[in-house]
Amino acid sequence: MIQEISVYQLKAKIDAGGTFRLIDVRSPAEFASGHVPGTVNIPLETIQSTLAGVDSNEEVVMICQRGGRSMNACKKVSATYPLLVNVAGGTGDWIAAGFPVVS
């Protein structure tokens, strides 16, 4: 089962300095328009091949605009990466909450 967290829980994880990989699965253009600080852009279409270099024991947190594409990304790699977390509400909720974004 893939764990889901809110943007508030993600902000708390970031603020706590936890060790995890934060991946934004939106297109490069969407990513460039504004993203959560510390995210790495790996578009959904390339997630399986690009994520291959990540340690399978590392926690991987996926985010997109609303949470649907990131959940799809989690499902695509769930057999290899057991520590997956999807951010429900995605970048849209992150921005709505007033949290910082970079572009």
Each residue's pLDDT tens digit, 77-103: 998 888 999 999 999 999 999 999 999
pLDDT tens digits for range 15-55? 999 899 999 999 999 999 999 999 999 999 999 888 877 88
Nearest CA to 91 out of 70, 60, 77 is that of 70
What pLDDT sits at residue 56? 86
Task: Return the pLDDT at 16.
Answer: 95
Rounded mean pLDDT, 54-73 = 94
First CA to last CA across the chain, in angstroms? Answer: 32
What are the residue ranges spanned by the domains of the chain? 3-96
Best CATH choice for the domain 3-96 from the list 3.40.250.10, 3.30.1600.10, 3.40.1800.10, 3.40.50.720: 3.40.250.10
